[in-house]
Structure 1
Amino acid sequence: MARIPKELVDHIIQTADIVEVVGDFVQLKRKGQNMWAPCPFHNEKSPSFSVNPAKSLYKCFGCGKAGGVVQFVMDVEGTSYVEALKYLAKKYAITIEEEEKTPQQQLEQNERDSQFIVSDFAKNHYHRLLLNSEEGMSIGYGYLKERGLNLATIQQFELGYSLDSWDDLMKTAEKAGYDKKYLEKSGLIVTKTDDQGHDTGRRYDRFRGRVMFPIHNISGRVVGFGARTLKRDDKMAKYLNSPESDIYHKSDVLYGLFQARQAIRTEEVCYLVEGYLDVLSLYQGGIKNVVASSGTSLTEGQIRLIKRYSDNVTVLYDGDAAGIKASLRGTDLLLESGLNVRVVLFPDGDDPDSYIRKVGDQRFAQYIEKSSQDFITFKTTLVAREASNDPVKKAEAIRDVLNSIAKVPDAIKRQVFLQQTSATFGIDEQVLITEYNKLVKAPAAKQASGNAGNYGNGAGSANTGYPPSGTARPPARPMSDEEEAEMLMYGGHEATVEVLGAGVSFQPAKPAAADDEDTPDVLKLCEREVLRLLVLYAGREVDPEISVAAYLMGQLGENPLTVSLYAEMWEICRQELLANRFPDARLLAQNERAEIRSLITDLATERYEISPNWRIKEIYVLNEVDLPKQACDNAVLRLNKVHVQRELDICLERLRHPLPDAEMFEILGDIKRLKELDNELAAMLGTVVARGT
């Protein structure tokens, strides 16, 4: 893929109007300085989706989606960063000069493009035959109508029919000027060979006398076909699919995803079924967030596609015992990828298509809502019932369930599932935990035997929150203040305090490997506030010829922040200043890293604004925009005060342990100095000192 120069990326971002881009998908209404609309990513009645035209940022205060104009296109279209840039460039007529391709690369691109073209031609040809030919209307359309599909659904999914002829498509395509070799490469025609496998020179259509289901990629281009025969012939496969080609890789395609993607985002769940008609019947019945694996085992590529639109999947199983067992194995992949998996089982003999036609749209929707259950509970109940009173089968069933639980990345969910499994099988929970730890430690030991004793942290293991068998269980509660202080103390924090002319600067020494989860919330908030002022007001002057950015950098130094993401963002801003540029929130929000894009958007987005009616009534409110120096001073002082208080807490905690006299007196001296500094900072902030002496 060609690399787009940074200068061109910046030009695209600065040219794109976020109000115009977002307005292509939702109807925005102005309220104050921002534009508002119902969120395009989830269901809501009251608008909580805000667009800030000045900063070119969007944020939903309901679901949390946020970012700049490029991120919006990525979110709403499910595209990559480069694809989103190309989308914007096309919208604003900006030419992207791609690197010159090698002859081989150009040939490969031409081959793929030609296959896309002939596949689109075939789709249109089959669709015309279905609706306009005598054979297509009587056989193909008659079958689809019998299955309950209306014309709108047929047209929405561009269904078709292939004539019961050896060479109808091939002759029609050749007459239209298409090269036969691309029909062959895309699997639309087949080469006949003799008994020795030699090419006889004869070509014929792959699909004959079948209802055609075009398979679209995520961009809506046809990459292949599924085809159902209407003949009663046991020797003939009921369904025939396109073979793998340069443009069709069945493991990376989900039938119906192109039509369902927006509904999956809005409903925040993807319904996964097996067949084409399941998708079509449910879509027509109002359940538009449905896709199919097209009868193949679920793959990692297909799961990645689902995750682009939702973390929630509900698998709709046919009421067929053999089919359920086969599907269970693929569903473990969903768990392993971190998706929240639920299951609906239909009555024996029914599949989603037959059941919705039997009970109707409304009762079907009620059924899947009432019958939905989490996958582990479903699997546990299923295998427990099958094991019945057979001890050997029961032991195998338990291990099977534990294997599925081990796929779940979330430790709390795993703990709940273990408790549920214990209750379902009537087996002691601690026995299950012991067996579970044996199961997860085995692959860990193979990969890193030295880490075998670190439960939940070895390579390949899954952290359940339980220790290995035979060890004491950790307390199932948050750390106390004393435990947190002790943890901080042994982390080796030391402080250097300097009183500067204009204020107080406190530079904590960084621990060797700081963990953001160990950083107290109050410190995170103070660091976040400093970073917010830096990002939003970098170029604003606090004094003549002194910018907010220069002022904060001068007060706090090069590395004042302990939260890793904040520290990284601080360094990005510092590098911008060293390059004689002020950090620009609009450009920073387009960073290729999602964590940074999200952080910048959160820093730059406020849910509430001062009412314009206050100005009409001559009520004026001074804020940080009017008083940048005061806002910066307060943020720096609060950050320094938190550091002082943390060090003071550590010193007080150390006194609770037996110490040599010399060390105790040294700590008492530190406490006295830190309390004086704490009082000085409180006075500067105008706050009341309420700490013990």
Structure 2
Amino acid sequence: MIAPQTIEQITNRIDIIDVVGEFVKLKKRGANYLGLCPFHNEKTPSFTVSPSKEIYKCFGCGKSGNTITFLMEHEKYSYAEALKWLAQRYNIEIQETEVSDETRTIQQAAESLHVLNNFAQKFFTEQLLQTEEGQSHALTYLEERGYDEKIITHFQLGYNPQSRNAFATAALQNQFNKEVLLKSGLLVERNPASSAGREELFDNYRGRIIFPIHNNTGKIIGFGARVIGKADRAPKYINTPENEIYIKSKILYGSYFARHSIDKNNECLLVEGYTDVISLHQAGIDNVVASGGTSLTTDQLRIVKKYTNNLTIIYDGDAAGVKAAMRGLDMALEEGLNVKLVLIPDNEDPDSYVKKVGADAFKSFIAANKKDFILFQLDVLLKEAGDDITKKKEAVNQVAESLSKLNRAEDFTRRQAYIHECAAALKIDESGLINLVNKFIHDKVAKEEKKQAAPISGLEETATAEEDKTALLFHPDEAQEKSVLRVLLEYGLNQWDDDHTIAQHIFKELEQFSFDNPDMAFLYNTYRNYYEMGLQPSAKTLLYNEDERIRSLVVNVTLFPFELSQRWDEKLENIQVSNVDNSSKDVAMSLSYFKLHKIKKMFEQNQQDIEKSTNWDETRQLMEVHRYLKGIEREITQQLGTVILK
């Protein structure tokens, strides 16, 4: 285990904007930063990061936490691996305590796969560059394809020898677990004819060029393996099967190497294959990624959108390439991307074409042949329809449905321009096309509303509860409890007066009151216990507590979707709104409203007891309670200068 002193060093050095900004494109909004949530699909940013509180929260899906939990959730790291990632980033030396056998046995599968993949990459690269078989068979083939050693090393390419168990032998000798080896897809288990029923492990990628696949931090999450030369019966490519760290629909090959260039150029070039990416990088065109030959997915498009809104898809110019491009259109529009299309001519692909014409000519060709995606679709549909009335009607409907995907407020002008141009090309009335587009929009909204209104089955309800077990939702009546805990966490260690801290003042004021929400009560008691033990609890220290429940509660209590802009001080002359210490007023107001809320509930309960009472003495006592509560209420409202809560 990592020593507590090291953990403290790491948490003191953490810059949450620096770390989260590695994965999410953030823009400053007041005191906080805002971006598109990396944990769910959204068009309008609701993912908020607070540098002062060192926490993040998505007000769309409810995901929240600190820098460490972000890495654990986003990169599938274990707690220890997230700390090690941060330690490496901030050049902090890791000091570890003894690791128990139990801790070793419960290491997450994701961490094991990362370690195995790292070992495998080094093995394959060594086989390619330092063995006679690799150099004569694989390296020669790559060089003949036009790849130099610099680009081969950059992308960490490798080779799996033709021997049936070269990698299996090396992995087992290094004590890698059989279950993890099979899960990784690097090995397969088969029953050879000579084994008399005994299962053996064989290399799955033998005799193939190996392409490591990296996540956005450079960790190897899987591999692609290509046959050398033309494939006969065997598939041309074999890819890692899906597991804890490799989900094909969420991966863009080359994104780790291209992310900075995409951001700098404000454009992402999307191709199909590994070799397309490598050849373009070698030619100096490095803002390029690949979809891996599969249909584009929403998750892949969202990776692009982290860095830019401008996507240029470069596909082969054959019929298959055109169809592949068309499949990604609607999803790209829904994600708000500005999409252009380039088709490579003469039955070439980006890999072969850039080698044929050179880097400069390739760049010029891309710049001169970018086609607007919607207008390209329209052109294809019209050519297919010809004079066929039925097909032309289908084309109108398909174009209208695509245009309906541009349904954000900021897309209105863009959609109207498309409608004008498409109506002219289709030779139909513009108002008719507008009505058809609106119909598709309304139908989609109605469908979504119906889906949201549908009752949830017991099975779905259980699954949802399991997914959201750490997402804490508070009833509006509990706002006062949340407010008291917020001021306790933010100001508790500050002085209330000469003799008491704000925490001590709050403890004293709440002696006769309790929290109705069990989570709020738990957090309050946790804070008080730590305080009375002589510790210094605060939002920051509790944010890195080992208890996930405490961390989640702290985030939900302290982070809000809206922050008071510091520019109010500029707008309101002679009045300081934000740049002033309002902690005492904040505490007093929070406590007063908390008490008023509790007294209101006491009134309601007392009134019910009076109505049910059949004994005069009991009724008289209840009336005394009523007057007593009224007196407290009047005193608090006079201090607040407000009206009694209804």
Q: Distance in 2 between matches of 1:605 and 1:129?
A: 61
Match of 2:136 in 1: 138
1:524-539 to structure 2, matched below 5 A, reads none
Q: Distance in 1 between matches of 2:104 and 2:322?
A: 46
Asked if the contact 2:311–2:340 (Cα under 8 Å) also holds between the matched residues in 1, the reply is: yes
Q: Deviation of residue 102 (structure 1)?
A: 13
Q: 2:282 aligns with which of 281, 284, 287?
A: 284
Q: Distance in 2 between matches of 1:199 and 1:340?
A: 58
Q: Deviation of residue 233 (structure 1)?
A: 4.2
Asked if the contact 1:338–1:409 (Cα under 8 Å) also holds between the matched residues in 2, the reply is: no
Match of 1:647 in 2: none
* Change in CA separation of 1:631 and 1:240 when aligned onto 2, cut-off 3 Å: closer
Per-residue deviation, residues 152-178 of structure 1 (Å, max 9, x unmatched): 111111001111221111122223333
Q: Distance in 1 between matches of 2:68 and 2:285?
A: 20
Match of 2:415 in 1: 414
Match of 2:327 in 1: 329
Q: Deviation of residue 344 (structure 1)?
A: 1.6
Q: Distance in 1 between matches of 2:104 and 2:15?
A: 34
Q: Distance in 1 between matches of 2:121 and 2:263?
A: 28
Which secondary structure does the structure 2 equivalent of 1:109 belong to? coil
Show structure 1 runs of 5+ residues with no match. Answer: 1-7, 27-39, 43-48, 60-64, 452-457, 460-537, 539-544, 546-582, 607-622, 636-693
For 1:157, the aligned partner's letter is: F
Asked if the contact 1:186–1:246 (Cα under 8 Å) also holds between the matched residues in 2, the reply is: no
Do residues 185 (structure 1) and 178 (structure 2) align?
A: no
Asked if the contact 1:78–1:309 (Cα under 8 Å) also holds between the matched residues in 2, the reply is: no
| Higher mean displacement: 403-412 or 212-221 | 403-412
Which secondary structure does the structure 1 equivalent of 2:188 belong to? strand
Do residues 431 (structure 1) and 432 (structure 2) align?
A: yes
* Change in CA separation of 1:279 and 1:14 when aligned onto 2, cut-off 3 Å: closer
Asked if the contact 2:160–2:210 (Cα under 8 Å) also holds between the matched residues in 1, the reply is: yes
Asked if the contact 1:67–1:598 (Cα under 8 Å) also holds between the matched residues in 2, the reply is: no
Asked if the contact 1:192–1:199 (Cα under 8 Å) also holds between the matched residues in 2, the reply is: no
Per-residue deviation, residues 72-119 of structure 1 (Å, max 9, x unmatched): 9x9xx999477799565763859999xx9997x975634332222222
Asked if the contact 2:192–2:200 (Cα under 8 Å) also holds between the matched residues in 1, the reply is: no
Q: Deviation of residue 357 (structure 1)?
A: 1.0
Per-residue deviation, residues 44-95 of structure 1 (Å, max 9, x unmatched): xxxxx99x9xx9x999xxxxx99748699x9xx9994777995657638599
Per-residue deviation, residues 332-356 of structure 1 (Å, max 9, x unmatched): 2222222222222221412211121
Match of 1:525 in 2: none
Match of 1:516 in 2: none
Per-residue deviation, residues 541-566 of structure 1 (Å, max 9, x unmatched): xxxx9xxxxxxxxxxxxxxxxxxxxx
1:244-263 to structure 2, matched below 5 A, reads 244-263=242-261
Q: Deviation of residue 211 (structure 1)?
A: 0.9
* Change in CA separation of 1:14 and 1:129 when aligned onto 2, cut-off 3 Å: closer
Asked if the contact 1:12–1:94 (Cα under 8 Å) also holds between the matched residues in 2, the reply is: no
Match of 2:370 in 1: 372
* Change in CA separation of 1:166 and 1:393 when aligned onto 2, cut-off 3 Å: same
Q: Deviation of residue 282 (structure 1)?
A: 1.2
Per-residue deviation, residues 454-495 of structure 1 (Å, max 9, x unmatched): xxxx99xxxxxxxxxxxxxxxxxxxxxxxxxxxxxxxxxxxx
1:463-474 to structure 2, matched below 5 A, reads none
Q: 1:16 aligns with which of 13, 17, 26?
A: 13
1:538-577 to structure 2, matched below 5 A, reads none
For 2:441, the aligned partner's letter is: V
Do residues 301 (structure 1) and 299 (structure 2) align?
A: yes
Q: 1:238 aligns with which of 236, 239, 242?
A: 236
Q: Distance in 1 between matches of 2:166 and 2:93?
A: 43
1:477-626 to structure 2, matched below 5 A, reads 603=565
Q: Distance in 2 between matches of 1:66 and 1:207?
A: 43
Q: Distance in 2 between matches of 1:256 and 1:163?
A: 25
Match of 2:170 in 1: 172
Q: Deviation of residue 322 (structure 1)?
A: 2.1
* Change in CA separation of 1:372 and 1:324 when aligned onto 2, cut-off 3 Å: same
Match of 2:267 in 1: 269
Q: Deviation of residue 430 (structure 1)?
A: 1.8
Match of 1:29 in 2: none
* Change in CA separation of 1:185 and 1:434 when aligned onto 2, cut-off 3 Å: same
TM-score for the superposition, normalised by structure 1 = 0.55
Which secondary structure does the structure 2 equivalent of 1:213 belong to? strand
For 1:441, the aligned partner's letter is: H
Q: Distance in 2 between matches of 1:96 and 1:109?
A: 19
Asked if the contact 2:407–2:441 (Cα under 8 Å) also holds between the matched residues in 1, the reply is: no
Q: Distance in 2 between matches of 1:22 and 1:446?
A: 40
* Change in CA separation of 1:246 and 1:599 when aligned onto 2, cut-off 3 Å: closer
Asked if the contact 1:191–1:199 (Cα under 8 Å) also holds between the matched residues in 2, the reply is: no
Q: Distance in 1 between matches of 2:222 and 2:161?
A: 18
* Change in CA separation of 1:227 and 1:363 when aligned onto 2, cut-off 3 Å: same
Which secondary structure does the structure 2 equivalent of 1:208 belong to? coil
* Change in CA separation of 1:92 and 1:159 when aligned onto 2, cut-off 3 Å: closer
Asked if the contact 2:339–2:372 (Cα under 8 Å) also holds between the matched residues in 1, the reply is: yes
Asked if the contact 2:259–2:287 (Cα under 8 Å) also holds between the matched residues in 1, the reply is: yes
* Change in CA separation of 1:71 and 1:324 when aligned onto 2, cut-off 3 Å: farther
Q: Deviation of residue 187 (structure 1)?
A: 0.9
Q: Deviation of residue 361 (structure 1)?
A: 0.9
Match of 1:353 in 2: 351
Asked if the contact 1:170–1:205 (Cα under 8 Å) also holds between the matched residues in 2, the reply is: yes
Q: How many residues align?
A: 470
Q: Distance in 2 between matches of 1:598 and 1:445?
A: 28
Match of 1:663 in 2: none
Q: 2:313 aligns with which of 305, 312, 315?
A: 315
Asked if the contact 2:265–2:287 (Cα under 8 Å) also holds between the matched residues in 1, the reply is: yes
Per-residue deviation, residues 592-615 of structure 1 (Å, max 9, x unmatched): 79x989976x95699xxxxxxxxx
Q: Deviation of residue 246 (structure 1)?
A: 2.9
* Change in CA separation of 1:125 and 1:592 when aligned onto 2, cut-off 3 Å: same
* Change in CA separation of 1:106 and 1:398 when aligned onto 2, cut-off 3 Å: farther
Match of 2:442 in 1: 441
1:662-673 to structure 2, matched below 5 A, reads none
Q: Deviation of residue 421 (structure 1)?
A: 1.3
Asked if the contact 2:9–2:92 (Cα under 8 Å) also holds between the matched residues in 1, the reply is: no
Per-residue deviation, residues 314-371 of structure 1 (Å, max 9, x unmatched): 2112111123213312332222222222222221412211121111111212222222
- Give the number of the structure whose residues are more often helix, by fraction: 2
Match of 1:205 in 2: 203
Q: Distance in 1 between matches of 2:185 and 2:576?
A: 67
Q: Distance in 2 between matches of 1:287 and 1:599?
A: 41
Show structure 2 runs of 5+ residues with no match. Answer: 35-47, 57-63, 75-81, 455-490, 492-497, 499-537, 544-553, 581-646
Q: Distance in 2 between matches of 1:181 and 1:632?
A: 61
Q: Distance in 2 between matches of 1:377 and 1:400?
A: 12
Match of 1:476 in 2: none
For 1:423, the aligned partner's letter is: A
For 1:402, the aligned partner's letter is: A
Q: Distance in 1 between matches of 2:223 and 2:205?
A: 9
